[in-house]
Structure formats: structure tokens, C-alpha cells
Amino acid sequence: MQIAVIGWGSLIWHPGCLRTKSRWYSDGPRLPIEFARISSDKRLTLVIHLGSAAQRTYWAVSEFKTLSGVRKNLGKREGTTNLDYVHALTVGGRSEGWKGVVDATVSERIREWLKGRQEIQGAVWTGLATNWLEKRGKEFTPEDALQYLDDVERAKDNATSAYNRTREYITNTPPRIQTVVRKMVRKRKGWKDAVLAGILFEVE
């Protein structure tokens, strides 16, 4: 079975131990993606966020031929052995790993996308959800995401690495991912989108 790994953030420009036999294609399924999670190292990161605008994601063909193999490989790259948040499904309806963002519209969009690709029979992706309420004590909004970035920037003299990681993550986000927060960051902070190396992507 040929299985696609779907990505939208640092997986594209920093794949680490992710094993793929293709470069990244830029015509993945359209999913609701936003900078709505604060990582353990304080970066503002992209996750599937229901209610946010749909973004065209990226995908690459995994070297592994089974859902379990691809999930383990993606989990290793994400630094976890808990694969509950590494989601998978096949065009025929089989699914694995359903904690985090579990929504019928998301899985159906991915399944419909798979149906249009004869060369791919399954897909795997990271299903982490927003943790805004836990980290900030309130529901996520783009405005509060900018406030969080302001807080990180003000503290950069004492936490330079957190600031640098956050800025790197946002500016290196691949070009098709143009979320509300990213546009606000460009306008208010002047953080220009980085130009990623062409070698990362398949010629389409």
C-alpha cells in the first residue's frame, strides 16, 4: 500500500527522521489549520483547528507500506511513542489513532482527497488539537495568538531561544499555508515569509 504523510508545518522544512520516498507535493487536502497550539518549547505551532479557514496542505509518499509503520515513523519524528494522536485512514474506510482532533468533516475531506489519487491508498497525519485553554486560560482567537507573540517578544532578552524558535517556525511555514494569524504577523510584526529551498518540493 502506498501511504501519504500529510504535513503543513515544520515537517516540511525539517523532516528529521521522517522517511519518505518523494519530496513534498503541494496539492494535499484542504484542512482547517491555524497557529493555535503552544508547544512544550513555547513555539506557536500549527494544528488542525475546527472553525479556522481551510488551507491547502502538503503530502509526501512514505517509505513504509503499512499504516502502523508510517504512524510509528511519524510519531518518532514528533518525539512521541504515544501514537493515539497520529491519525491514519485508508480510502476503504479503515482508521487508526483517534485522539485529539477527531471530526467527521476532517476525515471525510481526507478520504475524498484519497479517492482522487489512484497512486495513494492511505494517509497519516498528526492530529494534535489546540491547547489554548490549558495554556492561556481562554479559548483561542487570532488576536490572543498575537498577544502571545508579543509576550514572547517582550521576554526575548531572558528567553532568546524561545523567541527565535517561534519566529523561525512561523516564517518557515510553507507558502500555501496562509492563515489569519500568519497574515496578521506579517502586517503587524513585519515577519516576512521565508523562501524555502526548492529541493524540498516535487516539480508539479
Average pLDDT over residues 158-186: 93
Quote the pLDDT of residue 101: 56
- Residue spans of the domains in the chain: they are 3-200
Which of 49-58, 78-87, 190-199 has the lowest average pLDDT?
Answer: 78-87
Q: With beta carbons less than 8 A apart as the criterion, state whether 138 and 144 touch.
A: yes
Cβ partners under 8 Å of residue 33, min gap 6: 8, 46, 47, 48, 49, 52, 54, 55, 57, 177, 179
Q: Which of 3-7, 103-107, 126-130, 139-143 has the lowest mean pLDDT?
A: 103-107
- In the chain, the DSSP E strands lie at 3-7, 30-38, 44-48, 54-56, 58-61, 86-90, 95-96, 122-126
pTM to 2 decimals? 0.94
Model pLDDT, residue 167: 95
| Termini Cα distance of the chain | 23
